[in-house]
Structure 1
């Protein structure tokens, strides 16, 4: 049992080292320019170790994306169980704190450097949740307006998070959560905090 636990910890550590190395390299160069050799050198593992876990660099990236999607799925399910705005706001704050805690990975995953398919998959996941749609469409006069409200809220929220990440999280998670809440749900109060102004050219 102790040996299995040690091996499991070692496996998790090795995978994390390779994930971190890939994210670091994606900050420096396009995904297509990253070789297994460069990744192994950055992660301090040998090629046989890499291929024991992944068949390609792309598969490693998808592993990172899948872990993120699994967390978002769980967070959405928790959000939909909340009976009131206070509960929803707490969950959105948790999501924003998760983003803050994992900024190194998410700054890359949510940027043009990453696979645009991941961002589309994230949108699709949110759109597919019936409870999300119902809450975002409250107050709409018809189905067309309801759909436009939902897409504006979801796309706007993701755009806001991308901007927040690009500022290296200059605003607090609580401020961003409050803006997302009031943008997505018409019955929420106006936001009380502002995001930083973009820098102006000198």
Structure 2
């Protein structure tokens, strides 16, 4: 039992080191220009250790992205189970706090050079779960679709700007801007 726990901690440490190293490298150059050797040197692990956990760098990046999506999904589920008239704003604020708390990783994942599909999936998940369509009820369907596209694209742009800015605005301010820009006045 103790050996399993040690291996589990060791595995967790190794995966964290690989993830952190990849994020650091992605801050300087695209994934296609990063080598496994370079990643292993940065993470201070052997190549065989890398391959014991991941078949390639794309898999490591997908693992990082999936963890982010899983967190957002779980958090949205918890927040949306509680009835609250301001739930949309609270959900977006909570996600903005997560982004602020994980700034170093998400600065890279949300950067203009990163995978736009991940960014769209992340924001699409958020807006899909808070059912933006219901918020736009009574709106022309074409207008609702355009507002949804604007909400996702505009939020990505705002988050990219926020993550690249120093000093940064508080998460509550960013959430309020996203909420007021995405939703029609009530």
TM-score, structure 2 normalization: 0.89
- CA contact 1:108–1:114 (8 Å) conserved in 2: yes
- CA contact 2:99–2:106 (8 Å) conserved in 1: yes
Tell me how far apart the structure 2 counterparts of residues 149 and 55 of structure 1 sit (CA, whole Å): 40
Tell me how far apart the structure 2 counterparts of residues 163 and 26 of structure 1 sit (CA, whole Å): 18
Tell me how far apart the structure 2 counterparts of residues 150 and 116 of structure 1 sit (CA, whole Å): 17
Q: How many pairs align?
A: 186
Query: Relative to structure 1, is the Cα distance of residues 92 and 122 closer, same or farther in structure 2, using a 3 angstrom cutoff?
Result: closer
Alignment pair present for 1:184 and 2:182: yes
Alignment pair present for 1:103 and 2:103: yes
Q: CA deviation at 1:84?
A: 3.2
* Corresponding position of 1:138: 137
Query: Relative to structure 1, is the Cα distance of residues 4 and 63 closer, same or farther in structure 2, using a 3 angstrom cutoff?
Result: same
Alignment pair present for 1:148 and 2:153: no
Point out 4+ residue stretches in structure 1 off by more than 6 angstroms.
none
Which structure exhibits the higher relative contact order, with contacts defined as CA atoms closer than 8 Å and separated by 6 or more residues? 2
Q: CA deviation at 1:103?
A: 0.7
TM-score, structure 1 normalization: 0.82
CA RMSD across the alignment? 2.1
Structure 1 unaligned regions, length at least 5: 189-202
Structure 2 unaligned regions, length at least 5: none
For residue 28 of structure 1, give the secondary structure of its aligned residue in structure 2: coil
